[in-house]
Amino acid sequence: MTLENQLESLRKEHDDLSRQVEIVQSQPGADTIALTEMKKRKLHLKEKIFALSKD
C-alpha cells in the first residue's frame, strides 16, 4: 500500500467516525462511553494522518 493510499484510507475512516459521532451525539441518552471511545479513535487517526503527511 502506498503512502497516498494509506493516507486516503485513514482520512476515510476519520470521516466515517466523524459522521458516527454526530449521529450518536444527536440521540437523546447517547452512550457517553462509546462516544468517548469514538472520539479517542478519531483523534488517534488525525494524529497518524498528520504524522504521515509530514514525511
Structural domain tally of the chain? 1
What pLDDT is stored for residue 27 in this prediction?
Answer: 92
DSSP assignment letter at 27: S
Q: How far apart are CA 13 and CA 32, in angstroms?
A: 20
pTM here is 0.87
11-15 CB contacts, 8 Å cutoff, 24+ apart: 11/49, 13/45, 14/42, 14/45, 14/46, 14/49
Whole domain around residue 41: which residue ranges?
A: 3-54
Other beta carbons within 10 angstroms of residue 47's beta carbon come to: 10
Tens place of pLDDT for every residue, the chain, 55 residues? 899 999 999 999 999 999 999 999 999 998 999 999 999 999 999 999 999 998 6
CA torsion angle 27 28 31 35 (round to 10): 50
Which pLDDT value is given to residue 7? Answer: 96
pLDDT score at 1: 81
